[in-house]
Amino acid sequence: MDISQFTQCSPTAWRIEPTSRMHVPAIIFATESLIRDMDHKVYEQITNLAMLPGIVQAAYAMPDAHWGYGFPIGGVAAFDPDAGGVVSAGGVGFDISCGVRNLLTGLTREDIYPVQKQLADLLYYKIPAGVGSTGPLRLNGDEMNAMLRGGARWAVERGYGRAADLERIEEYGCMAGAEPHEVSEHAKKRQHDEMGTLGSGNHYLEVQQVTRVYAPDIAQSFGLKEGDVVVSIHCGSRGLGHQIGTEFMRSMALAAGQYGIELPDRELACAPINSPVGQRYLGAMRAAINCALANRQILTHRVREAFSDLFPSADLKLLYDVSHNTCKLETHEIDGRQRHLFVHRKGATRAFGPGHTELPDSFKATGQPVLIGGTMGTASYILAGTQTSETRAFSSACHGAGRAMSRHQATRQWHGREVIDELAARGILIRSPSSRGVAEEAPGTYKDVTAVVDAADAAGLARTVARLEPMIVVKG
CB count in 10 Å sphere of residue 361: 7
Residue 64 identity (one-letter amino acid):
D
Nearest to 88 by CA among 290, 320, 263: 263
**Residue 32, Cβ neighbours under 10 Å: how many?**
13
> Cβ-count burial of 141 within 10 angstroms (0-12 exposed, 13-18 middle, 19+ buried)?
exposed
Sort residue 448 into left (φ over 0), alpha (ψ -120 to 50) or beta.
Answer: beta
Return phi, psi of residue 346, to 5°. Answer: -115, 110
C-alpha distance from residue 459 to each of 308, 328, 334, 389, 397 (Å):
41, 23, 19, 8, 10
d(CA 408, CA 65): 19
DSSP per residue, 386-421 = -STHHHHHSSEEE-B--BSS-HHHHHHH--HHHHHH
**Distance of alpha carbon 317 from alpha carbon 32, whole angstroms:** 39
399 is catalytic: yes
Beta bridge partner(s), residue 99: 235, 323
Active-site choice (181, 324, 399, 415) = 399
Distant-in-sequence, close-in-space partners of 438: CB < 8 Å, separation ≥ 6: 376, 416, 419, 420, 430, 432, 475
Residues with a known catalytic role: 399
